[in-house]
Amino acid sequence: MFKKVLIANRGEIAVRIIRACRELGVRTVAVFSEPDREALHAMIADEAVCIGPAKSADSYLNIKAILAACELTGAEAVHPGFGFLSENAGFAKMCARCGVAFIGPSPEAMTLMGDKATAKQTMKKAGVPVVPGSDGLIGSVEEAKALAEQIGYPVMVKASAGGGGRGIRRVDRPEDLEDAIVTARREAKSFFGDDGVYLEKFIVDPRHVEIQLLADKYGNTVYLGERDCSLQRRNQKMVEECPCPVMTPALRARVGEAAVRAAKACGYENAGTVEFLLSGDQFYFMEMNTRIQVEHPVTEFVTGVDLVKMQIRIAAGEELPFKQEDIHMTGHAIECRINAENPAQGFRPSPGKITALHMPGGPGIRIDTAVYSGYEITPYYDSMIAKLIAYAPTREEALKKMNWALAEFLVEGVDTNIDFQLKLLRDPDVEAASYDIGFLGRNLGRLTKG
């Protein structure tokens, strides 16, 4: 086991990793930007190193500064959390060159799965169902038009190196395809430095379901059930639950086994998720996220497996302590992302100082957060305040628990989406689990009214 781990991240995920390391008897090093000098992760780690000014490119994305912090403190490994450098193959390679273990997959696996067009081809070869579309990047508008006519509208134009909802355009009519390709390419180039795009069939009214995986260095790979992430706005998840309300044991086995094939096809190690579109009893590969997900706590509640501790154990060379038949799902968990934003004003971020704070508690309630009363939410990073998770024996009970937990959650000094989350979870269709990935897009107007 490692003696010291550096966490190359901030906020609640950095705090989460620090606590996992403490349980494993591992010392921790936090890195922080100048505005994060009084951030919780910087205060509770065993050591903390300032790595630059506010701008992410000069701090949390500053590979040289992070590796220098490893050298300075003697950290043997780096945990990247999610976001920032977590899926940066170049960073993982630099860690290896510097003799620092990267707590995540190999650079080769990240590169393979990070390019969505290449990943799709890899999945097809592995026998994983994929959405009909181009075999690789779109070469010309004429080629795209011919393919769209073949697979049928609507279609999606997607950035090959994309993520977070960037570089994605839905096209319902042939006359709109060229503009969508131009726009998607421009956005992809701006955000990812790569303007490659591909085309695929748009599956109408599917659910977004992701399978959680763990894979060690010895060829052992298991899936830990699924999470339903269909309640999302502009491809950004807002509420997640485990298990998926419409999943059957037989379908779960089919999707889970496909996810394992996907992981083995790219030589994947550590914790990751394979994301699918689910339509009836059919499912299609979307992408693989090669790092821990924001919504991992719901899986931890339902399976009893600490995913972050398993990440560290795997990276340290340990074998998975269980097999597929040892994984059991019990109960139901729901996660709401509590953000400093104003839903009535287009979810505009609301930076500022938290002047009063009360968080709910009790059996089956978990809060992952890095804020405190007096904490300053800066405009430099994401607006997440906390992740609120409710767990109960049934979905109905978990919803009730989440409702009263949201009602008790008090944050003053900044706007939040707490009331919006309450209204969303009290919607009859959500209560009945009758929703898909288009639900929020269709209903956002009424949900954000007064």
Residues with a known catalytic role: 291
Report CA-CA distances (Å) from 195 to 27, 51, 191, 286, 412.
Answer: 41, 31, 9, 19, 42
The closest alpha carbon to 303, from 283, 282, 331, belongs to: 331
Between CA 385 and CA 414 the distance in angstroms is 10
In the sheet that holds 221-233, the strands lie side by side as 282-289, 270-279, 207-215, 221-233, 236-242, 332-339, 384-392, 365-369
Q: Give the list of residues 6+ apart from residue 357 with CB closer than 8 angstroms, or none.
A: 371, 372, 373, 375, 410, 411, 412
**Cβ-contact 105, 290 below 8 angstroms:** yes
* Torsion 15-20-24-29 (CA) sign: negative
**Amino acid, single-letter form, for residue 309:** K
Between CA 275 and CA 227 the distance in angstroms is 9
CB atoms within 10 A of CB 141: 13
SS3 category, 241: strand
The closest alpha carbon to 341, from 234, 260, 206, belongs to: 234
Between CA 425 and CA 402 the distance in angstroms is 8
SS3 category, 346: coil
Element (H, E) at 288: strand 282-289
- The residue with tokens 């999470």 is 227
Between CA 170 and CA 156 the distance in angstroms is 5
Using the 8-state DSSP alphabet, how is residue 325 labeled? G
> DSSP alpha helices (H): ranges in 304-365?
307-315
